[in-house]
Amino acid sequence: MFKKVLVANRGEIAVRVLRACRELGLQTVAVYSEVDRSALHVRYADEAYCIGPASARESYLRIDRIIDVAVRSKAEAIHPGYGFLAENDDFARACTEAGIVFIGPPAAAMRAMGNKIQARRTVSQQGVPVVPGTYEPLRDEEMLVAANQVGFPLFVKATAGGGGKGMRRVERIEDLANAITRARSEAESAFGDGTLYLERIVKPARHIEFQILADARGNVIHLGERECSIQRRHQKMVEESPSLALDEKLREKMGTAAVAAAQAAGYVNAGTIEFLLDKDRNFYFLEMNTRLQVEHPVTELVTGIDIVKEQLRIASGRPLSYRQGDVQQRGWAIECRITAEDAFNGFLPSTGKIISLHEPTGPGVRLESALYGGFEVSLYYDPLIAKLCVWGSDRATAIMRMKRALGEYKILGVSTSIPFHQRLFQSTSFIGGMIDTSFLDERFSMEQGGSDERERVAAIIAALLTHDRRQHALNIPPPTSSTRGGWKRFGNWEGLGR
Amino acid sequence: MRYTAIINDKTYEIEVGANNTVAVNGKPHRVDFRAIDGNAQFSLLLDNTSWEALVDRNGDEYRVLIGGDLNVVVVQDERTRKMAKAEGEQTAPMGEAIIKAPMPGLVRGVVVNVGDNVAAKQGVVILEAMKMENELRTPREGIVKEVRVKAGDRVEQGQPLLIIK
């Protein structure tokens, strides 16, 4: 095993990886941008090095500076987390060339799966069903012709894409040319590669993905599925494991296909095979994510396997600690992605300083977070600020536990997605498991279903606050107007509740 | 003191009395109301039923968040009711149309110049925000009077980007 590991990331995932390292007794190195000097990962690690200004392009994406820190600090391995450089094969290669172990797949496997068209070809050659679409890079005119064979509605997707970037939904051929232009431009600016492909929209469908682990000795296992159908504009908001849609037979079939897909790519380390599952229970390979996933904790909670520790073991050349037969799913786990977005205002990003924080705890609750009182949520980085995960003996227990934990979670200073999650966990469709990837965008609204009783209480509270202000209007300075929706500092409440 | 709390189209007549009592539409309740952290967190015992709320105020408008429900409450007393009525009678005709950033983001491009004629619903600014490129369009036809941003600028929500006359 390594003695010292560098974590090339920030936020909750950097802390997650640092925790695994600490439990294994490894020394840790953090890197940070100028605005992250006080961030939790910097304070948590044994050593920390500044790698540039706030903009990720000048810091967390600077391969040269990160490698330089690794060499200077004598770190033997680098964990990239997710996002930033996690799926950048140039980075994986640069690590290898500098004599540092990249904790992830070999650059070649990453490249093969990172190129979505190539991945579609590789996987379909193994007999794994793939979403109907195109398999070769096409020019714009060729794409217009191919579109009719693929069928509408369809997605225009970036070959180098991910996370909804460079992706456009197209209903009619008339809209295709414009969608191609926009998607290409987005893909070029986000990934430096404007190659696109077409993919038929399978609908209704569930997004089901399989976690796999592969060691360098050719052992590949899967850790079961994650249900990720709760998506808002292709961004996952809630994940659970297992999925209500799978029985033991289908789980084994999809798991076997996932293992075959990983083997086809010569994959090593942790990865995820994403599938779509249609209403007739046909499944189609969507893509492979060659990294640790945001939602890995739900798999850890039901299998008891620490995926990050396995990643470290695999990268150090050790064999997997588990065989397929050892993997058992026990109970039910759910994760809510807590983002700094205003759920009541179209999920606009919200920024500001965390002025007060109360985190949920108690039985069956796991919180992955890098928040603290005083932390500044900025526009520079992803709005994901924490992941609230729960485990229960069954799905109903896990849902009740999540509702309980969400109610305890109080973040003041920025607007968050917590109210959205609370509404979702009141939805009878969600509780009944009647979900697919279009559920949030088409059959869920923040406006529906507010309670009359809470409305009345809100009216009383507002009247009491107004009354208090009137009573004190003569002896306190006028409060500064607060910024909308930020749950910012309220003003002087010295007259209240003594 | 009597207050009118308005939520959407619904009104609540609330009388705040002495000795921790309120009457809501004539019905009396006992209240015990506490500020918890001096910021935005409050606790209300309403006839011994316990409620927690996060409250954000903007003038006479309160955004009250309770258990995932957001209620935007406008509170008026007699004086503010009169003020609101007077303001409602003013109409301000706009000579210029200001295109503002609907969300914070990064300007990817401005596709018109000062002096250009623009049609209604014409795309003028590309704003990258929320992981998408968003085309901002003109509300009506006119001439571009002023361009206040350029590609590469970071903009805040509500920031004027372009003015059409």
Q: Is A234 helix (H, G, I), strand (E, B) or coil?
A: coil
| pLDDT: which is higher, B104 or B33 | B33
User: Does the beta-carbon distance from B67 to A454 stay under 8 Å?
Assistant: yes
**Is A291 part of the annotated catalytic residue set?**
yes
> Nearest CB to B35: which of A233, A467, A493?
A493
Residue A317 sits in a domain whose CATH number is 3.30.470.20
How much is the pLDDT for B90?
A: 36
Chain A environment of B31 (Cβ under 8 Å):
460, 464
- Supply the pTM of this predicted model: 0.83
Residue B92 DSSP one-character state? -
Does residue B15 surpass a pLDDT of 70? yes
Q: Please indicate, yes or no, whether residues A190 and A210 belong to a single structural domain of this protein.
A: no
Q: Considering A291, A313, A366, A401, which one is annotated as catalytic?
A: A291
- State the pLDDT confidence band at B81, using cuts at 50, 70 and 90: low
d(CA A327, CA A346): 41
Q: Please indicate, yes or no, whether residues A389 and A299 belong to a single structural domain of this protein.
A: yes
How much is the pLDDT for B98?
A: 85
How many domains are contained in chain A? 4
Q: Please indicate, yes or no, whether residues A353 and A493 belong to a single structural domain of this protein.
A: no
Which of A80-84, A359-363, B36-40, B141-145 bottoms out in mean pLDDT, i.e. has the lowest?
Answer: B36-40
A199 Cβ contact list (under 8 Å, min separation 6): A131, A132, A133, A134, A150, A154, A155, A157
A35 Cβ contact list (under 8 Å, min separation 6): A54, A376, A378, A380
Q: Please indicate, yes or no, whether residues A185 and A278 belong to a single structural domain of this protein.
A: no
Select B97-164's CATH number: 2.40.50.100, 2.30.110.10, 3.30.1360.120, 3.40.30.10.
2.40.50.100
Determine the structural domain holding residue A333 and report its residue range.
205-443
How much is the pLDDT for B131?
A: 63
How much is the pLDDT for A486?
A: 55
How much is the pLDDT for B83?
A: 54
Q: Please indicate, yes or no, whether residues A380 and A414 belong to a single structural domain of this protein.
A: yes
CATH code at B2-87: 3.30.700.30
Chain B environment of A457 (Cβ under 8 Å):
44, 46, 51, 53, 64, 66
d(CA A86, CA A63): 11
Q: Does A355 touch chain B (CB under 8 A)?
A: yes
Extract the residue ranges of chain A whose pLDDT is less than 50.
474-485, 489, 491-498
Are residues A9 and A80 in contact, defined by beta-carbon separation less than 8 angstroms?
yes
User: Does the beta-carbon distance from B62 to A458 stay under 8 Å?
Assistant: yes
- State the pLDDT confidence band at B97, using cuts at 50, 70 and 90: confident
Q: Where are the beta strands (DSSP E) in A328-487?
A: 332-339, 341-342, 348-349, 352-353, 356-358, 365-369, 376-377, 384-392, 410-412
Q: Please indicate, yes or no, whether residues A321 and A423 belong to a single structural domain of this protein.
A: yes
Q: Please indicate, yes or no, whether residues A487 and A346 belong to a single structural domain of this protein.
A: no
A296 Cβ contact list (under 8 Å, min separation 6): A211, A270, A307, A308
d(CA A298, CA A333): 5
Q: Does A71 touch chain B (CB under 8 A)?
A: no
d(CA A491, CA B57): 9
How much is the pLDDT for B80?
A: 66
Interface residue of A191, A466, A487, A498 to substitute, partner B, most B CBs within 10 Å = A466
Q: Please indicate, yes or no, whether residues A138 and A66 belong to a single structural domain of this protein.
A: no
User: Does the beta-carbon distance from B69 to A347 stay under 8 Å?
Assistant: no
Q: Is A361 helix (H, G, I), strand (E, B) or coil?
A: coil
> Nearest CB to A459: which of B12, B31, B130?
B12
For chain B, the structural domain boundaries read 2-87, 97-164
Does residue B118 surpass a pLDDT of 60? yes
Q: Please indicate, yes or no, whether residues A45 and A162 belong to a single structural domain of this protein.
A: no
How much is the pLDDT for A234?
A: 87
How much is the pLDDT for B37?
A: 82
Nearest CA in chain B to A341: B130
